[in-house]
Chain A
Amino acid sequence: MATALNLTAPLKQDAESQQRLQQLAAVFADQVQPMIDAVLAKSEIVHFARILVIDNKYIQVITEFDGSPEDYADFFRRELPSVFEEIFSLVEGAPPWSELQNPDKFVEFSREVDLKSLGTSPGGEDDRGYLFSAFGDTTVREIKKLLDGQSAVSA
């Protein structure tokens, strides 16, 4: 079934970082969101994705996707470098982007800040915690294929 990414990281609290956070929030819908939209659509593995900021103290990247978390994180690094450079530059304790450009470092840091949800994984193959899915093990590609088939029938 789908895998959840619960990336949750503390935000830097200095004035300059907080100001950059506000700038990011201000331009997100117009400038960042279309980039993410295009890349995630291209991936054909992401069910849902969103980015949250909690009280200007934490940032969360929460997604549900098909496949391994490591491959997924590496895909983000390759396809959305500017977005993740900006996000991780605001995160307390994150290695500099020059280090995170290395795939192993990026995957390792992503794993460090990926919170496990409560409970146990229904898939059982990885200790990632509980995730409910109404679609069982159906992947994004399979769902899209089924929907395409339905559209064709309706037409």
Chain B
Amino acid sequence: MQIDLSGVQAVVTDLYRRPISRHLIFRFPKGKGGATFIEGLAPRITMADVDVDAAPDPLVNIGISFSGLSALGVDPALLKEFDSVFRSGPDAFALGDAPNSRSSMANWWENQFHTEDVHCIVHVYVRSVQAAEDATQMVRDLAGECGVTELVPRRDRTILEGRLLGGGKLHFGYTDGISHPEICWNDVPTSPAQVNFRIFLLGYSTPECPSAPSDGPAADLARGSTYGVFRWLYQDVARFNEFLNTQAPKLFPHLATTDAEELLAAKMMGRWRDGTPLVLSPDGPSSELSRSNDFGYATEDPDGHRCPFSAHIRVVNPRDTPLDAVVEASVPVVLRRGTPYGPPLQGTDDDGTDRGILGLFLCADLRRQFYRLTGWVNKNDFSPVYDADRHAQDALVANRSVRLATTDFQIPGKDGGATAKKLPDFVHTKGTVFLLYPSKATLAAL
């Protein structure tokens, strides 16, 4: 079998390099307006047969929520065959968005609307501000003609706009875009590293790579589509910098302050900020290794002396780390398509500006892929390497208000290691919606 990529949205297959993105949130009206909107937008959706680097602005993609599919009039008998997590919508417990924290769902979308109000998100990716304005206007004009309502998620009535920070950097200063799965789009992988397309595309469920809908008319409808989780995540840069500033000299007193801060930042991520993996280069970044993704932990760093067990990349991709028997043998994989938003901030004084990442996580099984990772982030309990403390958390992105969470960050070392005390929340959730990124055939059927 060979997947015809002309029918798959390019956001699934490609990493876009456009510096500006906008994420326009809509609610369909009663009646045919939603379907007319989809029909009008469909020819503009960027499919994977397009050369996304060469194509003119804008690149356009769309995700439709379960309530959006219902509003479009999709047969309920078909809809009930879709993934139960997709149908239920975001679950605070599974996401780690503790109700007693700033990530509480009660605070999402700056209280401008509820998650279930979201019927679709249209993403536009462009090279210039003018192109962003033009694309936004094009989508809004179409929405207006169809009676589709735009939902604006901020109190100040601004929309969600991503801006690349340059150099592939994210707000905490780390380099993004290094580790991405290579997908085999047929049944003949050319290397062991290639990942089966069924882990991302719906309608091709097998016992080895199951997804829902698994078969029948619902699977026919969903074929070539992908589930996506859109996450609006605030990053508290001032707090992060302050943490490095105050903790690093205590943890690594033998180093100059700047070097100590860089080492602590690397220990929290598992890579130096230029991307060099700690496992391959524990003493400092190396330009030759900054894009390296070919390493493991089981033999190269079994004690975590180089990369701590709770470092972000070791939690979300434990590679060859032995897993508990109760965990499936394979590490869950999702496609990450995030973009930073908001202006950069240096130093430890918070300017009160909203900044962070607009994350899009794509997969075919929301529970066994996406929720498994959010579970591991908030509770490191999936491998015997965490036996010393199974309530430890991802050092960077976990919610510290999760019940029983350990907020100390263990940094193992030959000399007994060190402990960074009282990790604060560096990230909090401002909104989440589960979406279906429809294939060309699915769009036509809608």
Residues of A in contact with B (beta carbons under 8 Å apart): 42-45, 67-68, 70-72, 74-75, 78, 99, 101-105, 107-108, 123-126, 137, 139, 141-142, 145
Is B212 within 8 A of A105, CB to CB?
yes
Is A104 within 8 A of B325, CB to CB?
no
Is A124 within 8 A of B84, CB to CB?
no
How far does the alpha carbon of A125 sit from the alpha carbon of B379 in the complex, in Å? 14
Number of chain B residues whose Cβ lies closer than 8 Å to a Cβ of chain A = 27
Is A126 within 8 A of B212, CB to CB?
no
How far does the alpha carbon of A42 sit from the alpha carbon of B324 in the complex, in Å? 9
In the A-B complex, list the 5 residue pairs whose CB atoms are closest, starting with the nearest.
A104-B212, A108-B84, A102-B214, A43-B326, A42-B325
Is B387 within 8 A of A72, CB to CB?
no
Partner of A105, one of B214, B325, B326, B390: B214
B196: Cβ under 8 A from any A Cβ: no
B193: Cβ under 8 A from any A Cβ: no
- Residues of chain B within 8 A (CB-CB) of A125 are 93, 403
- Residues of chain A within 8 A (CB-CB) of B214 are 99, 102, 105
17 intermolecular pairs with C-beta atoms under 8 Å apart = A42-B325, A45-B324, A67-B326, A68-B94, A68-B375, A71-B326, A71-B327, A71-B372, A99-B214, A104-B83, A104-B210, A104-B367, A107-B367, A125-B93, A126-B93, A139-B390, A142-B390
- Residues of chain B within 8 A (CB-CB) of A67 are 326, 381
- Residues of chain A within 8 A (CB-CB) of B365 are 103-104
Is A103 within 8 A of B368, CB to CB?
yes
- Minimum Cβ distance to chain B for residue A65 (Å): 9
How far does the alpha carbon of A120 sit from the alpha carbon of B210 in the complex, in Å? 34
- Residues of chain A within 8 A (CB-CB) of B381 are 67
Answer whether A75 and B390 are a contact pair too, CB < 8 Å, given A68-B375, A137-B404: no
Is A45 within 8 A of B212, CB to CB?
no
B328: Cβ under 8 A from any A Cβ: yes
How far does the alpha carbon of A68 sit from the alpha carbon of B212 in the complex, in Å? 20
Partner of B403, one of A44, A102, A107, A124: A124
- Of the listed residues A67, A107, A123, the one surrounded by the most CB atoms of chain B closer than 10 A to its CB is A67
Answer whether A141 and B387 are a contact pair too, CB < 8 Å, given A103-B365, A107-B367: yes
| Smallest Cβ-Cβ distance to A123: which chain B residue | B403
Is A103 within 8 A of B367, CB to CB?
yes
Is A141 within 8 A of B84, CB to CB?
no
Partner of A101, one of B207, B328, B390, B404: B207
- Minimum Cβ distance to chain A for residue B168 (Å): 34
Is A141 within 8 A of B403, CB to CB?
no
Is A141 within 8 A of B326, CB to CB?
no
Partner of B326, one of A72, A103, A108, A137: A72
- Of the listed residues A44, A107, A108, the one surrounded by the most CB atoms of chain B closer than 10 A to its CB is A108
- Of the listed residues B85, B326, B365, the one surrounded by the most CB atoms of chain A closer than 10 A to its CB is B326
B205: Cβ under 8 A from any A Cβ: yes
How far does the alpha carbon of A105 sit from the alpha carbon of B207 in the complex, in Å? 13
- Minimum Cβ distance to chain B for residue A42 (Å): 5
- Residues of chain B within 8 A (CB-CB) of A141 are 387, 390
Answer whether A102 and B212 are a contact pair too, CB < 8 Å, given A125-B93, A139-B390, A145-B387: yes
- Minimum Cβ distance to chain B for residue A99 (Å): 7
How far does the alpha carbon of A45 sit from the alpha carbon of B381 in the complex, in Å? 11
- Residues of chain A within 8 A (CB-CB) of B327 are 71
- Minimum Cβ distance to chain B for residue A66 (Å): 8
Is A104 within 8 A of B328, CB to CB?
no
- Residues of chain A within 8 A (CB-CB) of B83 are 104
How far does the alpha carbon of A44 sit from the alpha carbon of B390 in the complex, in Å? 13
| Smallest Cβ-Cβ distance to A41: which chain B residue | B325
Instruction: Give residues 361-376 of B contacting A (CB, 8 Å).
Output: 365, 367-368, 371-372, 375
Instruction: Give residues 387-433 of B contacting A (CB, 8 Å).
Output: 387, 390, 403-404
Is A45 within 8 A of B326, CB to CB?
yes
Interface string of B284-321 (1 = CB under 8 A from A): 00000000000000000000000000000000000000
- Minimum Cβ distance to chain A for residue B363 (Å): 12
Answer whether A75 and B93 are a contact pair too, CB < 8 Å, given A104-B212, A139-B390, A141-B390: no
- Residues of chain B within 8 A (CB-CB) of A103 are 210, 365, 367-368
How far does the alpha carbon of A72 sit from the alpha carbon of B367 in the complex, in Å? 12
- Residues of chain A within 8 A (CB-CB) of B85 are 104
Partner of A104, one of B84, B326, B372, B387: B84
- Residues of chain B within 8 A (CB-CB) of A108 are 84
- Minimum Cβ distance to chain B for residue A150 (Å): 17
How far does the alpha carbon of A70 sit from the alpha carbon of B404 in the complex, in Å? 20
How far does the alpha carbon of A103 sit from the alpha carbon of B404 in the complex, in Å? 29
- Residues of chain A within 8 A (CB-CB) of B387 are 141, 145
Is A43 within 8 A of B325, CB to CB?
yes
- Minimum Cβ distance to chain B for residue A114 (Å): 14
| Smallest Cβ-Cβ distance to B98: which chain A residue | A125
- Residues of chain A within 8 A (CB-CB) of B325 are 42-44
- Minimum Cβ distance to chain B for residue A96 (Å): 12
